[in-house]
């Protein structure tokens, strides 16, 4: 007979249970019978650690696994009064001889059933030599693959989790109770405020730009107020391609597209004397933003009225020294000609402002469908689902870790055919777009620092568990994870450049860095500023009610307002983007791991070093921001969520 001490930690806020819990200890010789964890009084209280002593009738040998059993209490009254779900943080098992063994859990146990836990040392599959441990890895993955299955939501989209509604999700992948309550409270208060103001259900046009201030006062931020004050200025318009909600499309222009026939005479007033377009192209001071993917896209119907879209091209000029980036010319279609004029800063005020506003509408459509939904949510779901299905809890990578619906779907299908691995790897993306040295590009500057910190952290973790390239190639769970992301997320498209297998430690480091960066920092950069950009709606109109202009000299204030979205549509989008920009509580900043899956000293040291590196980056960002008229805060590490959380 052997006495073991068992210590159990329960999560806070509604995570306790009155159900009966017992454990079986699985050893190299045999498995013990279930042993109740039962003290006098109430056990498994929220935010508590409790100690128990159990006696094994026989020596089970070296401990391999801990099997946890949960069953409802015997008395019917307790069964009816108490929710049965229990969130267990961990079990600590102390044998008669030797040190304590920690079994991380960090998951909900619902209803009656059993859960098998492995001691917390992270191991790749080749490191678990005992047949029982190998069998447990396989059974864990088989159970998760049965629970989390794929489905094709739309043709040409990345595959996603096969569930109909949020209610069908199990507790382990749902919002916490506190987070869920905060989200719906925020949504309710926002809709109520708009309804009281008489705006929520009003389908007509805005009466004036001044009237739009009623919705602008809804929830103001310093960045939103800056947009309101400067939205008509060319320098602010251009700066949003660098540090706004879609800072990923601008690229250096080495030659003018044939379908964008800008001439020297058109841009002389901005370039000034003694230079030309060709000279500036050779100097590398011209940049292009091309929304060609929007050409001919299906548009929505709002309040019974068809909406309109444009596929503009915008030419920008980086003025000498540290001067501002400025727009040179805008064409609102991909087909030049008499009905597609090139708009210029020297045009009539309303012509030029309307052209810039069409570009901002294109930015909204591109951003929401592709940069935000596809790249930051749908692909992140692929990474997450493949992780749940292919990596057991003990694996070290598991531990690290206006156009309407039809138009959105069409855009995603188009972009999936163009999407390349280099776009998801920030250093390669910056090089490919040729924007390494454009000044004032804080998304690039801060993003590169964070990419570097994540890469260093990942490299240290990979170095602990993968001593050679061969160890990467031989990890069948890792290779299944990569293969499933390639097939379900990128639809087996070799043209995407996404690897279907990994051959070296270097490739593995880049791949894991890409996953972490896109699910945390990249999402923060393109999500947190949504409300800041759209709170003053003319700066980022979600839809346009009149077609793009086909000639100059006809735009007026009244026509400009008539082109903008109606009142109720404005309210709906601004409320939605406010909610999507606001973390509803239960925050976990990048580098914060309250679920302590790693138990070894080496990865813990790496986590501490990663946190220190992020803190250093944060201090540098905050110091720089003190000197900026409009601080760039979206990639300040304490403001970045560890994952796509909203």
585 is in an annotated binding site: no
Residues in the chain: 646
In whole angstroms, what is the distance from residue 278 CA to residue 263 CA?
10
Q: Residue 52 pairs with which residues in a beta bridge?
A: 6
What pLDDT score was predicted for residue 77? 54
302 is in an annotated binding site: no
69 is in an annotated binding site: no
What pLDDT score was predicted for residue 388? 85
Q: What is the mean pLDDT of residues 525-554?
A: 94
User: Quick check: 567 pLDDT over 70?
Assistant: yes
DSSP summary character for residue 369: I
450 is in an annotated binding site: no
What's the pTM?
Answer: 0.93
452 is in an annotated binding site: no
User: Quick check: 83 pLDDT over 70?
Assistant: no
DSSP summary character for residue 231: T
Q: Tokens 């040392």 sit at which residue? A: 121
User: Quick check: 180 pLDDT over 90?
Assistant: no
The mean pLDDT value of the chain amounts to 91
In whole angstroms, what is the distance from residue 399 CA to residue 477 CA?
14
DSSP summary character for residue 365: H
DSSP codes joined into one string, 12-56: SSS----SEEEEEEEESS-BPPPEE---SS--S-TT-EEEEEEEE
User: Quick check: 49 pLDDT over 80?
Assistant: yes
**Range from 30-34, 36-40, 395-399 that averages highest in pLDDT:** 30-34
Q: What is the mean pLDDT of residues 280-296?
A: 97
What pLDDT score was predicted for residue 62? 93
Closest Cα partner for 102 from 598, 610, 639? 598
What pLDDT score was predicted for residue 39? 79
What pLDDT score was predicted for residue 41? 64
85 is in an annotated binding site: yes
Q: Tokens 């307002």 sit at which residue? A: 561
User: Quick check: 530 pLDDT over 50?
Assistant: yes
Q: Band of the pLDDT at 191, cuts 50, 70, 90?
A: confident
625 is in an annotated binding site: no
569 is in an annotated binding site: no
User: Quick check: 168 pLDDT over 60?
Assistant: yes
14 is in an annotated binding site: yes
Residue 256 phi, psi (nearest 5): -75, 130
What pLDDT score was predicted for residue 580? 80
Half-sphere exposure of 302 (CA within 13 A, CB side): 29
In whole angstroms, what is the distance from residue 240 CA to residue 325 CA?
10
Q: Sign of dihedral through CA atoms 115, 119, 122, 123?
A: negative
Q: What is the mean pLDDT of residues 601-605?
A: 94
Cβ neighbors of 517 (< 8 A, separation 6 or more) are 426, 447, 450, 451, 454
CA-based R_g, the chain, Å: 28
Half-sphere exposure of 520 (CA within 13 A, CB side): 27
DSSP summary character for residue 641: B
Q: In Å, what is the CA distance from 581 to each residue of 89, 90, 412, 646? A: 30, 33, 22, 8
Q: Band of the pLDDT at 401, cuts 50, 70, 90?
A: very low
16 is in an annotated binding site: yes
In whole angstroms, what is the distance from residue 492 CA to residue 639 CA?
35
> Cβ distance 325 to 238 under 8 Å?
yes
Instruction: Give the pLDDT confidence of 371-384 residue by residue, as tens digits.
Output: 999 999 899 999 88
Residue percentage of the chain with pLDDT more than 90: 71
Residue percentage of the chain with pLDDT more than 70: 96
Lowest mean pLDDT among 127-131, 347-351, 463-467: 127-131
In whole angstroms, what is the distance from residue 385 CA to residue 587 CA?
22
End-to-end Cα separation, the chain, in angstroms = 51
User: Quick check: 76 pLDDT over 50?
Assistant: yes
User: Quick check: 414 pLDDT over 80?
Assistant: yes
DSSP codes joined into one string, 291-349: -GGGTT----EETTEE-B----EEEEEE-STTPPEEEEEEESSSS-BTTBPEE-TTS-H
């Amino acid at each position: 007979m052997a006495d073991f001490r068992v210590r159990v930690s329960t999560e806070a806020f509604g995570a306790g249970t009155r159900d009966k819990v017992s454990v079986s200890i699985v050893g190299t010789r045999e498995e013990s019978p279930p042993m109740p964890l039962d003290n006098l009084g109430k056990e498994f209280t929220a935010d508590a650690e409790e100690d128990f002593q159990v006696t094994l009738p026989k020596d089970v040998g070296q401990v391999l696994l801990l099997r946890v059993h949960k069953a409802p209490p015997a008395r019917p009254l307790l069964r009816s009064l108490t929710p049965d779900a229990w969130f267990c943080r961990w079990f600590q098992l102390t044998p008669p001889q030797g040190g304590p063994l920690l079994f991380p859990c960090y998951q909900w146990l619902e209803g009656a059933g059993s859960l098998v836990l492995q001691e917390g040392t992270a191991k790749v599959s080749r490191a678990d030599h005992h047949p029982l441990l190998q069998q447990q890895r396989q059974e864990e993955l088989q159970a998760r693959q049965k629970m989390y299955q794929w489905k094709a939501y739309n043709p040409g989209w990345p595959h996603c989790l096969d569930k109909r509604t949020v209610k069908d999700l199990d507790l382990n992948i749902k919002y916490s109770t506190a987070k869920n309550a905060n989200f719906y409270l925020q949504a309710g208060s926002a809709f109520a405020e708009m309804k009281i103001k008489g705006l929520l259900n009003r389908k007509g046009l805005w009466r004036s730009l001044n009237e739009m201030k009623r919705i602008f006062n809804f929830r103001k931020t310093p960045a939103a107020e800056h947009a309101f004050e400067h939205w008509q200025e060319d320098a602010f318009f251009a700066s949003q391609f660098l540090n706004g909600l879609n800072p990923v499309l601008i690229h250096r222009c080495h030659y003018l597209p044939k379908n964008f026939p800008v001439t020297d005479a058109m841009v002389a007033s901005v370039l000034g004397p003694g230079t030309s377009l060709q000279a500036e192209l050779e100097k590398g001071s011209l940049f292009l933003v091309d929304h060609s993917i929007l050409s001919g896209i299906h548009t929505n119907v709002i309040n019974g009225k068809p909406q309109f879209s444009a596929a503009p091209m915008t030419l920008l000029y980086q003025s000498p020294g540290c001067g501002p980036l400025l727009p040179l010319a805008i064409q609102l279609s991909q087909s030049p000609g008499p009905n597609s004029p090139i708009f210029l800063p020297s045009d009539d005020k309303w012509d030029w402002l309307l052209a810039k506003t069409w570009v901002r509408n294109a930015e909204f459509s591109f951003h929401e469908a592709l940069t935000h939904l596809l790249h930051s949510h749908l692909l992140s779901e692929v990474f997450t689902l493949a992780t749940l299905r292919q990596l057991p809890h003990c694996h070290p990578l598991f531990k690290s870790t206006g156009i309407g619906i039809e138009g959105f779907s069409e855009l995603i299908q188009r972009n999936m055919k163009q999407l390349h691995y280099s776009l998801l790897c920030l250093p390669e993306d910056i090089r490919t777009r040729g924007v390494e040295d454009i000044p004032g590009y804080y998304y690039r500057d801060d993003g590169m620092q964070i990419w570097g910190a994540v890469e260093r952290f990942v490299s240290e973790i990979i170095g602990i568990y993968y001593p050679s390239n061969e160890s990467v190639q031989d990890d069948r769970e890792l290779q299944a994870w990569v293969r499933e992301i390639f097939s379900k997320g990128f639809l087996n498209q070799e043209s995407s450049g996404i690897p279907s297998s990994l051959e070296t430690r270097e490739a593995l480091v880049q791949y894991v860095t890409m996953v972490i960066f896109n699910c945390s920092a990249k999402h923060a950069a393109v999500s947190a500023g949504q409300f800041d950009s759209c709170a003053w709606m003319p700066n980022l109109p979600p839809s346009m009610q009149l077609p793009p202009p086909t000639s100059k000299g006809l735009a007026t204030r009244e026509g400009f307002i008539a082109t903008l979205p109606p009142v109720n549509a404005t309210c709906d989008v601004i409320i939605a983007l406010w909610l999507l920009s606001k973390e509803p509580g239960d925050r976990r900043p990048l580098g914060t791991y309250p679920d302590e899956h790693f138990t070894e000293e080496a990865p813990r040291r790496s986590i501490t070093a990663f946190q220190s590196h992020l803190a250093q980056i944060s201090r540098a960002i905050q110091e720089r921001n003190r000197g900026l008229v409009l601080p760039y805060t979206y990639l300040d590490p304490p403001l970045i969520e560890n994952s796509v959380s909203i």
